[in-house]
Amino acid sequence: MTALVVKYLTLEEYLKYDDRTDSQYELVAGELVSMPPESPKNVQISLFLLINFLKFVPVNRLSNKVEIVVAGSRATTRIPDLVVLTNELATALEGATRSTIILDMPPPALVVEVVSPGKANEDRDYRYKRSEYAARGIAEYWIVDPQMNTVTVLILVDGFYEETRFAGNTAIASIIFPELQLTTEQVLNAGESNASDAIS
pLDDT at residue 105 tops 90: yes
Looking at residue 41, its amino acid is K
At residue 195, the pLDDT reads: 44
pTM exceeds 0.85 for this model: yes
Are 53 and 80 spatial neighbours (Cβ–Cβ below 8 Å)?
A: no
pLDDT at residue 131 tops 80: yes
pLDDT at residue 25 tops 80: yes
pLDDT digits (tens, 9 = 90+) for 33-66: 888 778 889 999 999 999 999 999 999 999 998 9
Are 156 and 190 spatial neighbours (Cβ–Cβ below 8 Å)?
A: no
pLDDT band at 17 (very low <50, low <70, confident <90, very high): confident
Helix (H, G, I), strand (E, B) or coil at 134: helix
